[in-house]
Amino acid sequence: MRTATSRRLWLILCLLAACALTLPSAASAGTYWWSGVPAAGSNGFSWGQTGGWNPWAGGSRCENGATTYGTGAYCQLVWSVPANLDAGSGNMTGSYRQANSNFEQQMFVEGNGTTVVQGTTTTQSYNRQWADMASYLYIRVINTGAATTTSAGTVWFDSNGFNVALNDPYNPGLNILEGHGGWKGPGGACIRYGYGEAGSGLQATALSNVDTGAVYDNPGYGSAAITTGVFQNDRNCVGVGALPTGNYTFRASATDKSGNSVSNDFVVSFDTTVPAISAAKIAGAQMANGQVLRGSAGQYRPTFTFDYSDAHSGMAAVAMYLDGALVSNSSTFTPSANLALGNHTITVVATDA
């Protein structure tokens, strides 16, 4: 009777469960600078006016039409500090023209007061600076005198540059990692994780192996916006190739534009070592491949057994096959009748977790 022993390692791959976002924790506010050209409708800029002014849609210039402006009539470009950010020092640059002394250009920075420049009929440039602010500022042209009739385009201002120091007092939010426990096998692992950022915006995120230095995921973020607002980045199923048997520390990390960072370390265990199993035995004695059985009837229906063990993830299942057919889900099998004369194959299989 011929016998053969095969060994097989099965992988049970546990997919990670859905992630739950944790609230961002307080951080030491880091400062970063945003520079750009103001444009109404983006980055916190908007127009406000009274009277017949012509703010350029989506732009950073406002000019008068051919009309009469009463006392207090103004056109202004407003910048509001985005939610979850604090604004510090900065400056705004541009140019302006005022038809007569009734009009003046003003910049108001909440917490710093108003800066006034009396204009002329020629085009002038300006550079308005501030040391700090509360929640908003505006720059405008306003009629501070009696009602004044103007010709179109004789009173205007624009803004061609804006620089501001921003502080983000919060760390990015880190998704709770669930389902990364349990052993991974030769098929590797599928890691799901994610981040949220409501302040200055994500600058960098990564999934790495602390023990080996391998980086599995590090997407880039190239937004030119002052803030990305509430931003969720779900890194669904990042593939990690099989590693030698052992426990590895993985790290999910994120850094925002202000330099605030957050990380989470967790362990992923790999078992890429096959279980230890013996060849089939008869009466406790190991069979030789091709061993011939002859003699009494009992030897034609012997009890087959085998030994098994697993030093890592533990055993999940054992099985015995006779001539390719499953005959036992344990480590022992006794035929119910004498085996037919001829060659037979006994296969033993052990599967770890």
Decide if 63 contacts 191 (C-beta within 8 A): no
Give the other-Cβ count within 10 Å of 304's Cβ. 21
Contact (CB, 8 A) for 150 and 10: no
349/274 Cα distance (integer angstroms):
11
- The per-residue pLDDT for 12 is 22
353 residues of the chain, pLDDT tens digit each: 333 333 222 222 222 233 333 334 555 557 889 999 999 988 899 999 998 899 987 789 999 988 999 999 999 999 999 888 899 999 999 999 887 888 989 999 998 888 887 666 778 899 999 999 999 999 999 999 999 999 998 899 999 999 999 999 888 988 867 668 889 999 999 898 888 888 888 888 999 999 999 999 998 887 778 876 667 788 888 999 999 999 999 999 999 888 899 999 999 999 999 999 988 888 788 888 888 887 655 568 888 999 999 999 999 999 999 999 999 999 999 999 888 889 999 999 999 98
Tokens of 346: 């006994």
Domain range 43-166, CATH class: mainly beta
Q: H helices within 103-218, ranges in order?
A: none
CATH topology of domain 20-30+170-270: Immunoglobulin-like (2.60.40)
**Cα–Cα dist 201/334, whole Å:** 68
Contact status, residue 350 vs residue 308, Cβ threshold 8 Å: yes
| Domain range annotation of the chain | 20-30+170-270, 43-166, 276-352
CB burial string 103-135: b at 16+ within 10 A, e below: bbbbbbbbebeeeeeebeeeeeebebebeebee
Name the token pair of 58.
């989506």
Cα 305 from chain centre: 52
Contacts of 278 (CB under 8 A, 6+ apart): 5, 286, 306, 307, 308, 348
H or E, element range at 93: strand 86-97
What is the per-residue pLDDT for 120? 66
